[in-house]
């Protein structure tokens, strides 16, 4: 059990570093696409924290914490997506100057870090349904974190700061659609994960 806790704990710490680093870089460079990816990674934090705690809790409480986490995370992503879309539209109307090299460098670093988070969750994903969802989600986040890279390149090449807001708008729409689709198609596992087990990892300790 201990090696699963260490791996998930490492994933939590690394995901925190990604979200904080992107937030600081986004504010400094006026990049909405970086701030969007930071918020997206921060939304994963609750799921990872509750997954980490689930390895310490009894089976029933572990299931309940994961069920609550999945519901809150999905609702949070929908609200986050709406906020992103609104802010992106405002930025399109009143674009801010973007330091293009910052989202390019930070986005590449975030993509690599998200892949590292997924690798940390890989072993636990073979034994826990929620860990498997987090693993697959972070693999997808590798590509999402490349959105600021695309935005930075477009701003550098075209000279139009609106490109950053346009990419952020696209990410916001994608988040809203993908979250709603995931809830609809995976309702049994996300909302009522009766088959999720936490304590059975002790067999592999």
- Structural domain for 131, as ranges: 2-204
pLDDT for 96 beyond 50: yes
* Residues 143, 162: Cα–Cα separation, whole Å: 21
Cα-Cα-Cα-Cα dihedral sign, residues 139, 130, 22, 174: positive
Number of domains the chain is built from: 1
> Greater confidence, 8 or 31?
31
* CATH number of the CATH domain containing 101: 1.20.1510
The mean per-residue pLDDT over the stretch 124-146 comes to 81
Percent over 70 (pLDDT), the chain? 75
Q: Kindly report, residue by residue over 37-89, the tens digit of the pLDDT.
A: 998 888 777 778 877 776 666 554 455 556 666 666 677 777 888 888 998 99
């Amino acid at each position: 059990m201990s090696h699963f806790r260490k791996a998930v704990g490492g994933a939590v710490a690394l995901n925190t570093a990604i979200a904080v680093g992107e937030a600081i870089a986004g504010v400094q460079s006026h990049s909405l696409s970086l701030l969007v990816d930071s918020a997206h990674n921060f939304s994963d934090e609750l799921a990872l924290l509750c997954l980490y705690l689930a390895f310490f809790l009894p089976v029933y409480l572990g299931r309940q914490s994961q069920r609550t986490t999945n519901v809150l995370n999905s609702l949070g992503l929908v609200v986050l997506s709406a906020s992103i879309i609104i802010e992106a539209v405002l930025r399109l109307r009143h674009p801010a100057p973007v330091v293009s090299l910052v989202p390019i460098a930070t986005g590449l670093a975030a993509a690599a870090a998200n892949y590292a988070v997924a690798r940390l969750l890989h072993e636990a994903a073979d034994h826990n349904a929620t860990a498997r969802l987090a693993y697959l989600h972070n693999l997808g986040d590798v590509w999402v974190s490349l959105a600021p890279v695309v935005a930075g390149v477009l701003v550098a090449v075209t000279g139009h700061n609106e490109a950053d807001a346009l990419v952020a708008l696209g990410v916001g729409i994608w988040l809203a659609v993908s979250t709603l689709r995931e809830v609809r198609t995976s309702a049994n596992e996300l909302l009522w994960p009766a088959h999720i087990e936490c304590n059975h990892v002790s067999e592999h300790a």
